[in-house]
A and B are shown apart, each in its own frame.
Chain A
Amino acid sequence: MATQTGKSDLLFSGSDWDFTKLSRAYDAIEAIAVEELHLDTYPVQMEIISSQQMLDAYSSVGMPLMYRHWSFGKHFLHQDLLYRKGGRGLAYEVVINSNPCIVYLMEENTMALQALVTAHAALGHNHFFKNNHLFKQWTDAGAILSYLDFAKSYIARCEERHGFAAVEAVLDSAHALMEQGVFRYHRPPKLSSERQREGLRERLEYEERSYNDLWRTLPPSQQRANVKAQDPEWKKSLNLPEENLLYFLEKNSLVLEPWQREIIRIVRVVAQYFYPQRQTQVMNEGCATFVHYTLMNMLFDRGRISEGAMLEILRNHSNVVFQPAFDDPRFSGINPYALGLDMMQDIRRISTEPTAEDRDWFPDIAGHGNWREVLLEAWTDHRDESFIRQYLSPTLIRKWRFFVLGDAADQPHYQVASIHNEHGYDKIRAALAHSYDVGANRPDIQVVDVDLLGDRQLRLQHKVKHGILLEDTSRDATLRHIRRLWGYEVSLAAVDAETGLTVHERSTSQIAE
């Protein structure tokens, strides 16, 4: 290395950045991250964008490539308004789970901020994306960009061929079912490679060209008659019940054209891609925040960041992890950055300076001093729900002064169920973990039956947990969308999960268009 004078050791000085400085900062931060935290990351691609482009990225769910749809335009207007009013600042960065990992940096950031963002996104998030088992199993970082590129041009071609309105109708309906368009329990199939998709499309085109109406007039085969006799048999062939409504409609809808099925598939793939992110908000942001905080402090301790820059970094850091109390007008839920960082720092504390209580609660890690390994393991194996269930300590519950409020719709009062005391720790931990369980908190709606030989009605079932029903108007509107994709009437039965009784039934025949 160069001479060890104090001045040359600073990574940067002043607030202006340039590419040499960025590169120098990244190299230093990466070196220390690998050395001290044993992070393992995808190669990084940093893209410098303006605030206008940041807004663009916001409106298309943060992806650099996205197909066109009016709802993104609406979101853009909304973000633009919030930004212009000063109601919300723009993010300093956007990071994309892809290989290479793409990090957007805003040109307005100062050099200190760019360093902070580099540590946060290019190392923290990047490590999490590469190692967390949810991302590893459920998303394909290497293929997503080329898939989106395909999706964008495919939908543009559909618009040319079939008109804006037709494409928009399919996309609207598919977007309404995005929440119900993911495989939660079994792993989704890998994204097919470009070549396979090409082959599939060629086959479809061939079928379209060589379509002969005569085939339709053939008498039904013996096999088909058999199917009629044994109901459960074809029900099984449809893989019912099916939780992934979009998948079911894509494969089995009676009215969709091949190109419409392909569009549904695109929406489904995008929904699936984002599903792990929604399950790991606290962990993902916590990991990134912990990494940037730790690395920046280490760099400062080694004299590579000046005091002025460090002050700016700390100021931004504390803005990010600000958590107002529940009765504060600024309160808008639990800040995942704050909770994640606190939990991870708490693990470090338990590992190095445990109290008697910690030894009681966490015998495996208390006092062992191996916080790096514990954290790396947690980042790899957990999602928010299991992470909180495993690692939320009484110390932290006391620090946050958590309490659980019971809310029954038929009561005029909320009731305080547990607070941060000996009896409450377990319950608070379980309740908080449960509130981060995406699968358990979203309405559970499945396809249970379809009368293919009769009126072709599609039967859906909503498992009602704790008596929580669906909101009426949006439910009706969504059912209309399902009918559009399915082609025939659709009914939704709300069945209580515990008693098995049908609480409520709604069919599209009851809903006016």
Chain B
Amino acid sequence: MPIFIDRRLNPKDKSLGNRQRFLRRAREELKRSIRDQIHAGRIADVDAEHVVPMPERGTGEPTFNNARNSGKRQHILPGNRHFSPGDLIPKPGQGGGAGASSPGNTVSEDDFRFVLSREEVLDLFFEDLELPDMVKLNLKEILAFKPRRAGFAATGSPTNINVGRTMRNSHGRRIALRRPKQEELDAILEELAMLELAPSSTATRQRIAALREELDRLERRRKRIAYVDPVDIRFNRFDPQPVPNANAVMFCLMDVSGSMGEREKDLAKRFFVLLHLFLKRRYDRIEIVFIRHTHEAQEVDEETFFNCTQSGGTVVSTALEEMHRIVRQRYPSNEWNIYAAQASDGDNSVTDSERCIALLDGKLMRLCQYFAYVEIIDKREAHIFGSTENGTSLWHAYSAIDLKWPNFQMSRIATPADIYPVFRQLFGRQPALLKRA
């Protein structure tokens, strides 16, 4: 008799440590794949699993190998049908159909892709943005769940038994299986009692015997068919539901005039992604509105927003007006939390900046939970501007708003790491600001 050990309940993921080591090793390459996917994909898709190709660099395992294209060797193969010694067989061309001559070819690694979990994706995404650990943890955290009633289940804990449903099942089963009712028994007992009092005769004795037998049968049947059987029992089923917070709408405003190149758009996109991640954690339902503008603004879908350019001048106030119009029409501020993120290279006509101030100060800032503005500048300009107050006309205009409204944030960004400070206030503990839902 051998020794048996049941390992099925042992902790799973014995190779998790190896996986982590592997991911750490391939980090740079994986980060690049994720960056590309974020660049090409939709904002809302970042927060999910991603499929990435196998990294090539740094994951090779070299050994001394014989070169295939040198020397003489022999292959021994089964299944000869018509060859005789001395036959010449042309070698198959390079790269295709070499299966016959090179035994042991396995699946090529080209199409080897694997799945990164949501956590791993976010880790890689955050690394570029240099988020503080607290914030990372906060963002990765899944929403709080609350159990919600969702029908009935055949299994569950005794505390969740649904008595009504259970008894209804039991009743149906008792009828279907013709379980004798108490009244039937009572009737027989009554008749028995009467017969026993009556003078005895053959007929009554027979009747008594028959009744006893019947009583016996019914009682046995009652025992066989339980009043409440395990199959009747139903439990209340609870589904974990994310705690509904409230609705939020996120406005993405972006200048799409010719001066915004690929780099600028990529930075802007990450800026929007981060805000979206934050909102997704806080709110049950988020809608995203994309507004692009040149000298006129329009609402577009995500695809167009990031990929199409439009020629024209730059009048920022048109975008603000468009946003105001949409808020009034579709997102009343007493039902929606309104967040806005604006990305631009700072160009604006001088007269228009005044209009922007008026719009924000007079209308929009009162409606918004938060308004974040990033000005995307060239890497070389970064050290010139630094934190000095000189800057583009839009920067000047917004500085005034920044002073007046605590829920307005602005920053210049040249690299991905600059994005986070814009949101610092959001991730800080500011219950007063956020509770206004």
Interface residues of A (CB under 8 A from B): 19, 22-23, 26-27, 43-50, 52-53, 55-56, 59-60, 68-74, 76-78, 80-82, 87, 100, 104, 107, 122, 164, 168, 172, 175-180, 323-329, 331-334, 400-409, 411-421, 423-424, 428, 431-432, 434-435, 441-443, 445, 462, 464-475, 477-478, 481
With A27-B1, A68-B21: A419-B64 Cβ-Cβ less than 8 Å: no
Q: Quick check: B74 and A417 within 8 Å, CB to CB?
A: yes
Q: Quick check: B84 and A432 within 8 Å, CB to CB?
A: no
Count B interface residues, CB 8 Å: 66
B 65-95 to A, binary, CB cutoff 8 A, 1 in contact else 0: 1111111111111111101111111110000
Q: Quick check: A466 and B72 within 8 Å, CB to CB?
A: yes
CA distance A332 to B68 in the complex (A): 17
CA distance A434 to B74 in the complex (A): 10
B358 to chain A, nearest CB (A): 57
B141 to chain A, nearest CB (A): 26
Q: Which residues of B contact A329 (CB under 8 A)?
A: 99
Q: Which residues of A contact B66 (CB under 8 A)?
A: 441, 443, 468-471
With A179-B64, A326-B100, A333-B103: A469-B71 Cβ-Cβ less than 8 Å: yes
Q: Which residues of B contact A407 (CB under 8 A)?
A: 72-75, 101
Q: Quick check: A474 and B112 within 8 Å, CB to CB?
A: no
4 pairs of A and B residues whose beta carbons are closest in the complex: A325-B79, A73-B22, A468-B71, A73-B18
- 23 A-B pairs whose Cβ atoms sit less than 8 Å apart in the complex: A26-B1, A44-B2, A48-B7, A49-B8, A53-B12, A68-B18, A107-B8, A176-B61, A323-B78, A401-B80, A401-B81, A404-B76, A405-B76, A407-B72, A407-B101, A412-B91, A414-B75, A414-B88, A414-B91, A416-B84, A468-B66, A469-B66, A470-B67
CA distance A104 to B66 in the complex (A): 35
Partner of B62, one of A176, A332, A442: A176
A244 to chain B, nearest CB (A): 14
With A332-B104, A407-B72, A407-B101: A416-B78 Cβ-Cβ less than 8 Å: no
Q: Quick check: B78 and A402 within 8 Å, CB to CB?
A: yes
Q: Which residues of B contact A22 (CB under 8 A)?
A: 4
Q: Quick check: A73 and B85 within 8 Å, CB to CB?
A: no
Q: Which residues of B contact A87 (CB under 8 A)?
A: 107
CA distance A469 to B72 in the complex (A): 10
CA distance A26 to B21 in the complex (A): 40
Q: Which residues of B contact A46 (CB under 8 A)?
A: 2-5
Q: Would you list which residues of chain B between 1 and 46 have a CB under 8 Å from chain A?
A: 1-8, 10, 12-15, 17-25
Q: Which residues of A contact B91 (CB under 8 A)?
A: 411-414
Q: Which residues of B contact A69 (CB under 8 A)?
A: 18, 21
CA distance A412 to B88 in the complex (A): 9
Q: Which residues of B contact A445 (CB under 8 A)?
A: 64
| Beta-carbon nearest neighbor of A82 in chain B | B107
CA distance A412 to B79 in the complex (A): 23
With A402-B76, A412-B90: A53-B10 Cβ-Cβ less than 8 Å: yes
| Beta-carbon nearest neighbor of A48 in chain B | B6
Most A CB contacts (10 A, CB to CB) among B15, B87, B104, B112 go to B15
CA distance A59 to B17 in the complex (A): 12
| Beta-carbon nearest neighbor of A424 in chain B | B85
Q: Quick check: A471 and B67 within 8 Å, CB to CB?
A: yes
B10 to chain A, nearest CB (A): 7
CA distance A385 to B112 in the complex (A): 35
Q: Which residues of B contact A60 (CB under 8 A)?
A: 14-15, 18
With A23-B2, A68-B21, A69-B21: A477-B60 Cβ-Cβ less than 8 Å: yes
State whether the Cβ of B206 lies closer than 8 Å to any Cβ in chain A: no
State whether the Cβ of B311 lies closer than 8 Å to any Cβ in chain A: no
Partner of A53, one of B3, B7, B76: B7
A15 to chain B, nearest CB (A): 18
Partner of B63, one of A47, A107, A179: A179
CA distance A469 to B62 in the complex (A): 16
CA distance A402 to B76 in the complex (A): 7
| Beta-carbon nearest neighbor of B8 in chain A | A50
With A56-B15, A60-B15: A415-B86 Cβ-Cβ less than 8 Å: yes
Q: Quick check: B112 and A81 within 8 Å, CB to CB?
A: yes
Q: Which residues of A contact B4 (CB under 8 A)?
A: 19, 22-23, 45-48
CA distance A416 to B89 in the complex (A): 8
CA distance A84 to B15 in the complex (A): 17
Q: Quick check: B80 and A402 within 8 Å, CB to CB?
A: yes
A421 to chain B, nearest CB (A): 8
A442 to chain B, nearest CB (A): 8
Q: Quick check: B79 and A324 within 8 Å, CB to CB?
A: yes
Q: Quick check: B18 and A333 within 8 Å, CB to CB?
A: no
CA distance A472 to B103 in the complex (A): 21
State whether the Cβ of B105 lies closer than 8 Å to any Cβ in chain A: yes
Question: SS class of chain A's interface: helix, strand, loop or mixed?
Answer: mixed
CA distance A332 to B102 in the complex (A): 8
Q: Which residues of B contact A419 (CB under 8 A)?
A: 80, 83-85
Q: Which residues of A contact B24 (CB under 8 A)?
A: 70, 164
State whether the Cβ of B117 lies closer than 8 Å to any Cβ in chain A: no
Q: Quick check: B22 and A70 within 8 Å, CB to CB?
A: yes
Partner of B3, one of A43, A175, A404, A432: A43
Partner of B65, one of A327, A424, A474: A474
Q: Which residues of B contact A432 (CB under 8 A)?
A: 76
Most B CB contacts (10 A, CB to CB) among A53, A412, A475 go to A53
B112 to chain A, nearest CB (A): 6
B16 to chain A, nearest CB (A): 9
With A405-B75, A412-B90, A466-B71: A45-B3 Cβ-Cβ less than 8 Å: yes
State whether the Cβ of B245 lies closer than 8 Å to any Cβ in chain A: no
CA distance A164 to B69 in the complex (A): 38
Q: Which residues of A contact B6 (CB under 8 A)?
A: 47-48
Partner of B20, one of A73, A81, A107, A469: A73
Q: Which residues of A contact B67 (CB under 8 A)?
A: 468-472
CA distance A470 to B59 in the complex (A): 21
A395 to chain B, nearest CB (A): 14
B 260-283 to A, binary, CB cutoff 8 A, 1 in contact else 0: 000000000000000000000000
CA distance A80 to B68 in the complex (A): 29
A165 to chain B, nearest CB (A): 9
Q: Which residues of A contact B17 (CB under 8 A)?
A: 68, 73
Q: Which residues of A contact B10 (CB under 8 A)?
A: 53
| Beta-carbon nearest neighbor of A122 in chain B | B2
| Beta-carbon nearest neighbor of B1 in chain A | A23
CA distance A71 to B88 in the complex (A): 42
Q: Which residues of A contact B68 (CB under 8 A)?
A: 409, 471
Q: Quick check: B61 and A71 within 8 Å, CB to CB?
A: yes
CA distance A86 to B62 in the complex (A): 28
| Beta-carbon nearest neighbor of A435 in chain B | B76
Most A CB contacts (10 A, CB to CB) among B2, B67, B69 go to B2
| Beta-carbon nearest neighbor of B64 in chain A | A443
Partner of B89, one of A23, A332, A414, A469: A414
Q: Which residues of A contact B20 (CB under 8 A)?
A: 73
CA distance A432 to B75 in the complex (A): 8
Q: Quick check: B18 and A413 within 8 Å, CB to CB?
A: no
CA distance A72 to B20 in the complex (A): 11
A272 to chain B, nearest CB (A): 16
With A46-B2, A467-B72, A475-B64: A405-B18 Cβ-Cβ less than 8 Å: no
A204 to chain B, nearest CB (A): 26
CA distance A408 to B18 in the complex (A): 42
With A81-B114, A467-B72, A469-B70: A478-B21 Cβ-Cβ less than 8 Å: no
Most A CB contacts (10 A, CB to CB) among B22, B64, B99 go to B64
B437 to chain A, nearest CB (A): 43
CA distance A268 to B22 in the complex (A): 22
A327 to chain B, nearest CB (A): 6
CA distance A44 to B5 in the complex (A): 11
Q: Which residues of A contact B59 (CB under 8 A)?
A: 70-71, 74
Q: Which residues of A contact B89 (CB under 8 A)?
A: 405, 413-416
Q: Quick check: B114 and A333 within 8 Å, CB to CB?
A: no
Q: Which residues of A contact B104 (CB under 8 A)?
A: 332-333
| Beta-carbon nearest neighbor of A399 in chain B | B78
